[in-house]
Amino acid sequence: MYCIVDIETTGNGIVGNKITEIAIFKHDGEQVIDEYHSLVNPQCEIPYFITGLTGIDNQMVRKSPLISDIASDIHEFTQDQIFVAHSVNFDYNVIKHELKGLGQSYVRKKLCTVRLSRKLFPGFNSYSLGKLCSSLEIPLYDRHRARGDAQATVLLFEKILGSDSSEEVIKTFLNARSQEATLPPLLSREVYDELPSSPGIYYFKNASGEIIYVGKAKNIQKRVLGHFYDKSTKEVRMCRETAQIDHEESGSELLALLMETAAIKHHFPLYNSAQKGFLRQYALFSYEDRNGVKHLAYNSLKNVSSPLIIFTTTTDCRLFMEQICLEFDLCPKYCHLQENVPSCDHFRISCKGVCRDEELFAEYNLRVDQAVAFMKAGQENLLIRAKGRNFDEYGFALLSEGTFKGYGFVPAEVAVQNLDDLEPFLVAQRDTPEARRYMYSHAAKYPDTVVDLSLQSSETTGE
Q: 311 and 262: one domain?
A: no
Mean per-residue pLDDT, 378-394: 88
- Domain boundary, last residue among 321, 352, 376: 376
Same domain, 88 and 40: yes
Q: Which of 21-30, 378-387, 396-405 has the lowest mean pLDDT?
A: 378-387
Residue 106 belongs to what domain range? 2-174
Q: Are 27 and 167 contained in the same domain?
A: yes
All residues at 6 or more sequence positions from 1 whose CB lies less than 8 Å from its CB, including other chains: 26, 27, 28, 29, 80, 81, 82
β-bridge partners, 115: none
What is the pTM (predicted TM-score) of this model? Answer: 0.66
Q: Is the pLDDT of residue 289 over 90?
A: yes
Looking at the structure, tell me whether residues 303 and 421 fall in a common domain: no
Report residue 331's pLDDT band, with 50, 70 and 90 as the boundaries: very high
The verdict on residue 456 lying in a domain is no
pLDDT tens per residue across span 368-379: 999 998 887 766
Strand order in the sheet with 426-428: 382-387, 393-400, 403-411, 426-428
Q: What are phi and psi of 25, to 5 degrees?
A: -115, 125
Kindly state the percentage of the chain with pLDDT values over 90.
Answer: 70
Model pLDDT, residue 402: 76
CATH code, 236? 3.40.1440.10
Counting the structural domains of the chain, the total is: 4
**257 & 369 share domain:** no
Strand order in the sheet with 211-217: 211-217, 200-205, 244-249
pLDDT at 463 over 60: no
Position 20 in a domain: yes
Structural domain ending residue among the three candidates 235, 267, 299: 267
Any idea what DSSP says for residue 456? -
64-73, 161-170, 377-386, 448-457: range with highest mean pLDDT:
64-73
Question: What percent of the chain has a predicted confidence (pLDDT) above 70?
Answer: 94
Domain-embedded: residue 99: yes
Long-range CB pairs of 52-57, under 8 A, 24+ apart, other chains included: 53/144, 54/8, 54/20, 54/21, 54/144, 54/145, 55/144, 55/145, 56/8, 56/20, 56/21, 56/145
Mark whether 341 and 413 lie in a shared domain.
no
Last residue in a domain, options 216, 243, 267: 267
Q: Phi and psi of 266, rounded to 5°? A: -80, -45
Predicted confidence band of residue 13 (pLDDT cuts 50, 70, 90): low
List the Cα angle 354/359/362 in 5-degree steps.
95
Residue 455 has pLDDT above 70, yes or no: no
pLDDT digits (tens, 9 = 90+) for 22-49: 999 999 999 999 999 999 999 999 999 9
Supply the pLDDT for residue 205: 97
- Per-residue pLDDT averaged across 73-98, rounded? 94
> Is residue 53 domain-shared with residue 70, that is, in the same domain?
yes
Please indicate, yes or no, whether residues 368 and 388 belong to a single structural domain of this protein: no
Please check whether residues 13 and 162 belong to one and the same domain: yes
Mean per-residue pLDDT of the chain: 90
In a domain? residue 406: yes
- Per-residue pLDDT reduced to its tens digit, 240-276: 999 999 999 999 999 999 999 999 989 999 999 876 5
Asked if residue 344 and residue 289 are part of one domain, the reply reads: yes
Tell me, what's the pLDDT at 457?
Answer: 40
Q: Is residue 274 part of a domain?
A: no
- Asked if residue 223 and residue 370 are part of one domain, the reply reads no
Q: What is the pLDDT of residue 277?
A: 52
Residue 254's pLDDT is 96
The Cα–Cα gap between 414 and 319 comes to 34
pLDDT band at 440 (very low <50, low <70, confident <90, very high): confident
Report whether 81 contacts 88 (CB < 8 A).
no
Residues 206 and 347 in one domain: no
